[in-house]
Amino acid sequence: MFISKIFKHMPHTNSKFWHFTNKISVRNYTPRRALMYVPGDDTRKLKKAWTLNVDCVAMDCEDGVAINRKETARETIRNILNEGKPTKKKFDWAVRVNSIDSGLCDDDLRALLTAEHLPNTVLLPKVENKEHILWFSERINSYIENKKKVELIIFIESAVAMINLPDICRTAVLLSKTSKFVPCALVFGSDDFCASIGATRTEDSKEILYARQKLVLVAKAFGLQAIDMVYIAYKDLEGLKLQSEEGSRMGYTGKQVIHPDQVPIVQEAFLPNTKQIEWAVGLLNAFKEHQKKWKRSIYLQRKHDRYANYEASTKCDRFNYVIKKLMYTLYIMLHN
Ligand SMILES: CC(=O)SCCNC(=O)CCNC(=O)[C@H](O)C(C)(C)COP(=O)(O)OP(=O)(O)OC[C@H]1O[C@@H](n2cnc3c(N)ncnc32)[C@H](O)[C@@H]1OP(=O)(O)O
Ligand SMILES: CC(=O)C(=O)O
Ligand SMILES: [Mg+2]
C-alpha cells in the first residue's frame, strides 16, 4: 500500500539519481498534488499564481470565467503562452478549455495551441463518451505542429461519463499512440457530477462515494493519475485537510484547488508522512539483510535446480525494482 502511495509522488526527474533508477519509467512523471484553477481573464490572479509553490497551474477558460469574458480569457492566456513560461519554477503549465458541447472548445484550442509556446497540459472538461476523445484528437492534430505533444487531463462530470469511463480511457490510450496528446490523468468534477445525478451535497460527501471510488479505480487501471474533487469552502482549511487526506487514502494522487491558501495543505496531504517514511527506511534495511541471504540461496539452487533458480531471481528482480523506487523517492524528498 505504501509503495503505491509514494509512486504517485515521483517528481520531474532529471537528477543524477536517474542513473540509479535507469529501468524505472518515472522519467516524465509530472506531479499534480494540487491543481489550481486561475480564471483566465484575471491577470492579477495569473501573476499571483506564478509566485506560488504549486504543482499545477490551470489557466481557466471554462467555469471560472463568465460567459461574457470568454474571449478576454482566451486572448489573455494566448498572450501569456506567446511570451513563454513566466518563471523558471517547475510546475505543470496547463489550460482548461471549454467543453466540446459548449461550442467554444474549438476556438479555445485553436487560439491556445497555435501560440508561440504550447502549454504542457490541456484540461478537457465534461468528456461524455469516446467520440469526444476522437473529436479532440482530430482537432489538436490539426493545430499542433511538428512532433510536439501535450498531456491530456480528462474530466468526468456526469452520470453518462461515469458509465462510459473505461471506454473513454481505452480510446484515449489507443489514440495517443498516433495522436499529439498523451492522457495523463482523470479529474473528478464533483460539482457538475452532483448536478447531473441530482444529488445534494453533504459534508461527508457520501452521496458521491461510489463515483469518487469508481474514478480512482478506472484511472489506476489505465495507468492515469486521479485528481480529486474541489473543496469549495476555501476558507475552511481544517475541512480541506480532512477531505484531502481521505482522497489520498482512497488512492487519489492530487486534488483540485481554487485558492492559494488551499495549496500547501493539499500538497502536504499527498506526500508520505513521517510514519510512512520510517516504515520505508525499515523496509530498505530489512531488504539489505534479506538480499544477502537470497544471494546464497540462489547460488545453491543454481547448482541443483534450474527452474527453481529462475523463480527466485525473478522474485529478487521484482523486489529490487520496488526498493529502487523507494530509495529514489526518499532521495527526492530529502533534496526538496
Ligand atoms: C467547480 C469548478 O469548476 S471550480 C473552478 C472554477 N472556479 C474558480 O476558478 C475560482 C477560482 N478562485 C477564485 O477566483 C478566488 O479564489 C475567489 C473568487 C474564490 C476568492 O478570491 P478573492 O476574494 O480575491 O480571495 P482572497 O482575497 O482571499 O485572495 C488572496 C490573494 O490570492 C489571490 N487569489 C485568489 N484566488 C486565486 C487563484 N485561484 N489563483 C491565483 N490567485 C488567487 C487574490 O488575487 C489575492 O491576491 P492579492 O493578495 O495579490 O490581491
Ligand atoms: C471541478 C469541476 O469542474 C467540477 O467540480 O464540476
Ligand atoms: Mg465542472
Question: What pLDDT band is residue 325 in, cutting at 50, 70 and 90?
Answer: confident
Interior CA angle at 49 toward 48 and 53, to 5°?
A: 115
- 173-197 confidence digits (pLDDT tens): 999 999 999 999 999 999 999 999 9
Last residue of a domain, one of 250, 270, 290: 270
Question: What pLDDT band is residue 8 in, cutting at 50, 70 and 90?
Answer: very low
Q: What is the mean pLDDT of the chain?
A: 88
Give yes or no: residues 159 and 212 share one domain: yes
Distance from the alpha carbon of residue 269 to the mean position of ligand 1, in angstroms: 21
Beta-sheet pairing, 150-156 with 254-257: unpaired
Give yes or no: residues 240 and 317 share one domain: no
Binning the chain into helix, strand and coil, the percentages to the nearest 5 are 55, 15, 30
Q: How many structural domains is the chain composed of?
A: 2
| Residue 8 is assigned to a structural domain of this protein | no
| Residue 90 is assigned to a structural domain of this protein | yes
| Residue 80 is assigned to a structural domain of this protein | yes
106 annotated as belonging to a binding site for a ligand: no
Distance from the alpha carbon of residue 229 to the mean position of ligand 3, in angstroms: 10
Give yes or no: residues 138 and 44 share one domain: yes
Q: What are phi and psi of 113, to 5 degrees?
A: -95, 0
Last residue of a domain, one of 227, 243, 270: 270
- 123-158 confidence digits (pLDDT tens): 999 999 999 999 999 999 999 998 899 999 999 999
pLDDT at 170 over 60: yes
Give yes or no: residues 232 and 291 share one domain: no
pLDDT at 20 over 60: no
Nearest CA owner, ligand 1 atom 5? 64
| Residue 67 is assigned to a structural domain of this protein | yes
Instruction: Say what the pLDDT of residue 165 is.
Output: 98
| Residue 186 is assigned to a structural domain of this protein | yes
Q: Which residue has the cell 526498493?
A: 323
Give yes or no: residues 240 and 303 share one domain: no
Last residue of a domain, one of 270, 293, 317: 270
Please give the ipTM for the structure prediction.
Answer: 0.99
Question: What pLDDT band is residue 300 in, cutting at 50, 70 and 90?
Answer: low
- Beta strands, E only, 176-224: 181-188
Question: What pLDDT band is residue 303 in, cutting at 50, 70 and 90?
Answer: low
| Residue 5 is assigned to a structural domain of this protein | no
Give yes or no: residues 81 and 167 share one domain: yes
318 annotated as belonging to a binding site for a ligand: no
| Residue 24 is assigned to a structural domain of this protein | no
Nearest CA owner, ligand 2 atom 3? 189
**Domain coverage including residue 286:** 275-334
Question: What pLDDT band is residue 18 in, cutting at 50, 70 and 90?
Answer: very low
Give yes or no: residues 227 and 326 share one domain: no
Enumerate residues lining ligand 1, CB below 6 A.
36-39, 44-45, 48-49, 60, 63-64, 191, 230, 234, 258-260
| Residue 87 is assigned to a structural domain of this protein | yes
What ligand 2 atom has the least distance to the C-alpha of 155? 3
Give yes or no: residues 320 and 181 share one domain: no
Give yes or no: residues 201 and 260 share one domain: yes
Q: What is the CATH number of the domain that holds 123?
A: 3.20.20.60
Question: What pLDDT band is residue 12 in, cutting at 50, 70 and 90?
Answer: very low
Instruction: Say what the pLDDT of residue 15 is.
Output: 38
pLDDT at 333 over 80: no
63 annotated as belonging to a binding site for a ligand: no
Q: Which of 66, 68, 73, 12 is nearest to 41 (CA)?
A: 73
Give yes or no: residues 219 and 284 share one domain: no
Q: 7 in helix, strand or coil?
A: helix
Nearest CA owner, ligand 2 atom 4? 189
Pocket test of ligand 2: the residue of 256, 258, 259 to mutate, having most ligand atoms within 8 Å of its CB, is 256
Instruction: Say what the pLDDT of residue 248 is.
Output: 97
Enumerate residues lining ligand 2, CB below 6 A.
63, 125, 157, 189-192, 229-230, 256
Instruction: Say what the pLDDT of residue 264 is.
Output: 98
Of 95-99, 162-166, 331-335, least confident by mean pLDDT is 331-335
Nearest CA owner, ligand 2 atom 2? 189
Give yes or no: residues 243 and 222 share one domain: yes
List residues, by chain if needed, whose CB lies under 5 Å from ion ligand 3: 157, 189, 192
pTM of the predicted protein model: 0.82
Calculate mean pLDDT across residues 95-107.
Answer: 98
Give yes or no: residues 150 and 296 share one domain: no
Q: 185 in helix, strand or coil?
A: strand
Pocket test of ligand 2: the residue of 96, 127, 229, 243 to mutate, having most ligand atoms within 8 Å of its CB, is 229
Paired strand residues for 124: 154
